[in-house]
Amino acid sequence: MGKPFVATVDVVLFQLPVGRYAMLAESVAEMTPLDDPDKSERLVWLHELLSIDLDQESYCAPCILKLFQPAPLSGLVINQLASHILHLAIDHIRPLPPAIQHIVQPTAIWATFLDGNDIVFLIDPHRIVNHVRMVIDRRKRS
């Protein structure tokens, strides 16, 4: 008998100066260093979106994740891209525990999984885009 079928998704792993994160690989169009010559981009620093108290200088290797989804932003600034894409078994994905839901910004993080001993937070690019649109709309009305 062969091995049982295991449903997987590909995720891109990355870091902020605090914490590990991932996003479905199918959502990411391109990954580039922050010093990319195209400076006209509207970028969102992920730590700001997640309400994490950091400054941009704490990033040691800032990179841009450019998303496929058309949006009011052209990319997310993250830190330290992983060197690989992880094939994640769907049954390893867990919803956010209630205790963590009150700590993290729920507009972007939708689930977690373990990578070794590390908790990795799954980022939803659709929620990010919707959140950024909402913030832009509020600023226009003010």
Residue with tokens 């959140």, as numbered in its chain = 131
pLDDT tens digits, one per residue of 99-108: 777 666 556 8
Nearest by Cα to 43 from 15, 12, 19, 78: 78
Q: Which two tokens stand for residue 121?
A: 């937070």
pLDDT at 37: 41
pLDDT band at 68 (very low <50, low <70, confident <90, very high): confident
φ, ψ at 94 (rounded to 5°): -125, 145
